[in-house]
Structure 1
Amino acid sequence: MNFDLADEQVMLGDSVSRWLSRSYGFDARARILVSSEGWSRTAWQQMAELGLLGLPFAEADGGFGGGAEETMIVMEAFGRALVVEPYLSGVVLAGAVLRLGASAAQRQDLIPRIAEGSLVLALAHTEAQARWDLANLATRAMATAEGWRLSGHKSLVLHGEAADRLIVSARTDAGEEIGLFLVDPAAAGVLVEGYPTQDGQRAADITLQDVLVPATDMIGLPSQGLAVLEQATDEAIAAVAAEAVGAMAEALTLTVEYLKTRTQFGVAIGSFQALQHRAADMFIALEQARSMTFYAVMSLAEEDAGRRRRAIAAAKVQVAKSAKFIGQQAIQLHGGIGMTMECKVGHLFRRLTIIERQFGDTDYHLHRLAGEGSLLEDV
């Protein structure tokens, strides 16, 4: 099997990396983190100009016709630079819900605005009691003559306070199915409370109290809602796996550079064989995660949902294990400086720690993998 990237994909990766090295250095990111919104609209517009915001969407809908491989390339570069803009939440996750569930009219209305950077979406699905179970919802949608009325509470909505439109999931009053609704965060009955997360990102808790949603703002049919959420989440897991690979690669690079320059007993500590072995183990863990990320990305085209779920769960387990190992080793090999706010490796460790739990932690996906059956069934 050929894992080499096509020429256009190599060019995409090069252009993203050049932009990040020129405009999104560690000091620039630090200034963004302390800004009023916690992310940069200037950087967001630059992403739009590069074509990144429209990348995963079909050309017929106003996008650029990219796929999972292109998303992987972008997310790996973003992982190296620790990008904090709402790309994962607004383009990858909420964007997947649009691609998979929205009508042609909805896609043609929303996607061009996403691609040009004028519309930010967020998926409001997570609830405190769910513990990563996508089907566990307490938010309700009651049918009315005007459309639907939504009531409930969503927690840890990625970049929820930045969203111009929310995609809210809710149980319908008929059939206990899951509906997906476009909601204006400024509408009556919507309360958005934003806060920073430990990895420098932003999230929000969102309360909905009898919020009126027109019937035309339902995305797809309630009978399809859960399947859309499952596939969109699998795409997001593959994307964060690629982001983790980028963050791990950067942590390894910084650690090796530190071992070459930090001296003890008159020599560089990188000359100590025990530390060389630890760096080699970090490299092996990185390549294991990279291989499983490729596997996850390729599985997204799988028509059999069970095979796709097995691949995604297996990839998340390996990436999480590698992220924990590489993050811990990078901190230990840097010593106390690795935990300071001025050292990039500490920020990488924080993001990798959050990724381990994002969309389900290691234990959750091990249980999910066990329930779906052996990967050998797919050979």
Structure 2
Amino acid sequence: MLRDAARGFLDDAAPVSNLRANRDAGRPYDPALWDEMVKMGWAGVLIGEDDGGSDMGFAAANTLAEEMGRTLAASPFLSTAVIAATTLRRAGAPGLAEIASGAATYALAIDEGPKFAPAATRMAARADGNGFSLSGTKTFVGEGTSATRLLVLAQSEAGPTLFSIDAERAGISREKLDLVDSRDHARITFDDVVATGEDVVGEVGQGLAALAPGLRAGQAALAAELTGLSAGAFAMTAGYLKERKQFGRHIGSFQALQHRAAHLWSEIEVTASTIVNAGRVLDATPDEADLAVSLAKARATETANLAVREGVQMHGGIGMTDDFDMGFYMKRARVAAEWLGDYGYHAAVVARARGDAA
């Protein structure tokens, strides 16, 4: 029921043309669309009822993310309703009611280099009176220009520490990054930004532990989005195969293209099962979900790559033009493949969990 409701809403309110309109208007996402998502309870899908949420669980959050991927719907859902909500809830930190109501949106400021590596964080959190002074630069920050609050990982004397701070706090500057997927990404610089003890999420020096539940949830939801993206690209490609004629025949009747389409469909189905499994494990034993989540993200990355390459090739020349929507799927797949860990990162997690790597 949730999937059907989400698909009906997104097909009507957030088709791929909506992403094109956002890009052309220079806006990170459609605020009216996010307001509607909030009204439907999507912002509180992982928040308890006492804080205004519906507490439907990770499998439900993945279902919503997958349907958003089908139409490339742009919103702060992943960074806010999944990563921030899970992190704050597990840490017992305030702010959940503001997320559920739509009053606050979050961005995750952890990346500093070309690859996802939270443990390699070098941004400084220098002790300053009863609080901290944050200095350094974060890059590839999803929803970085639009978020009202930031989850920031920095190195204190006691070790990595996670902070939740107002995005407009003095000393913070945000620079928009123009990535190929036309979504909201930023480079954020912190220049002696004051953070108090109340801004700390979890315990001082235990930032990686505080962040881990949110990262697992976000990686699973991003994998779900990529799987939905693959299904959306496949549906567009299959529709084109049934319409385009060559040599007096629909090209979908050519056996070589049928084999390729069947192979892609099979890969999407197998990957979809890893998404279901990741949601199940996160709901049942969230602290033991690393293998299930990384398997889902690795497979979803590879499947999306296959889906968009096949989509562009089977569309022929028009698949490479901006006038046709297939290119938007390829661009989003490329960026999402890197966020929260690329294929190599998650394949290594799977290998270690299986005892195949040191």
Same fold? TM cut 0.5: yes
1:271-297 deviation digits (Å, cap 9, x = unpaired): 111111111011011111101111222
The answer to whether residue 12 in structure 2 is matched with residue 28 in structure 1 is no
1:236-269 deviation digits (Å, cap 9, x = unpaired): 1110111111111111111111111100011101
Whole-Å separation in 1 of the counterparts to 2:354 and 2:16: 43
1:207-243 deviation digits (Å, cap 9, x = unpaired): 1111111221211112432122222111111101111
The match for 1:295 is: 277
Structure 2 counterpart of 1:332, which letter?
Q
User: What SS class does the counterpart of residue 304 from structure 2 fall into?
Assistant: helix
Tell me the C-alpha RMSD between the 2 structures: 1.8
Aligned match for 2:72, one of 82, 86, 90: 82
Aligned match for 1:251, one of 233, 238, 242: 233
The match for 1:194 is: 176
The answer to whether residue 104 in structure 2 is matched with residue 119 in structure 1 is yes
Q: TM-score, normalised by structure 2?
A: 0.94
The match for 1:239 is: 221
Paired residue total: 356
Gaps of 5+ in 1: 1-9
Q: CA deviation at 1:34?
A: 2.1
User: What SS class does the counterpart of residue 45 from structure 1 fall into?
Assistant: helix
**Structure 1 residues 315 and 28: CA distance shift in structure 2, 3 A:** closer
**Structure 1 residues 355 and 36: CA distance shift in structure 2, 3 A:** closer
Aligned match for 2:156, one of 167, 172, 175: 172
The match for 1:286 is: 268
The answer to whether residue 61 in structure 2 is matched with residue 71 in structure 1 is yes
1:171, 1:179 within 8 Å by CA — same for their partners in 2? yes
The answer to whether residue 337 in structure 2 is matched with residue 356 in structure 1 is yes
**Structure 1 residues 35 and 118: CA distance shift in structure 2, 3 A:** farther
Q: CA deviation at 1:304?
A: 7.6
Whole-Å separation in 1 of the counterparts to 2:286 and 2:218: 18
User: What SS class does the counterpart of residue 61 from structure 2 fall into?
Assistant: helix
Whole-Å separation in 1 of the counterparts to 2:343 and 2:230: 17
The answer to whether residue 309 in structure 2 is matched with residue 309 in structure 1 is no
The answer to whether residue 124 in structure 2 is matched with residue 140 in structure 1 is yes
User: What SS class does the counterpart of residue 63 from structure 1 fall into?
Assistant: coil
Residue identity (%): 32
Q: CA deviation at 1:15?
A: 2.0
Whole-Å separation in 2 of the counterparts to 1:189 and 1:146: 18
Whole-Å separation in 1 of the counterparts to 2:19 and 2:191: 36
Following TM superposition, where does structure 1 have runs of at least 4 consecutive aligned residues deviating by more than 3 angstroms?
301-305
The match for 1:332 is: 313
The match for 1:183 is: 165
1:171, 1:178 within 8 Å by CA — same for their partners in 2? yes
Gaps of 5+ in 2: none
User: What SS class does the counterpart of residue 120 from structure 2 fall into?
Assistant: coil
**Structure 1 residues 28 and 367: CA distance shift in structure 2, 3 A:** closer
The match for 1:96 is: 86
- Structure scoring higher RCO (CA < 8 A, sep ≥ 6) equals 2
2:15, 2:72 within 8 Å by CA — same for their partners in 1? no
User: What SS class does the counterpart of residue 82 from structure 2 fall into?
Assistant: helix
Q: CA deviation at 1:302?
A: 5.4
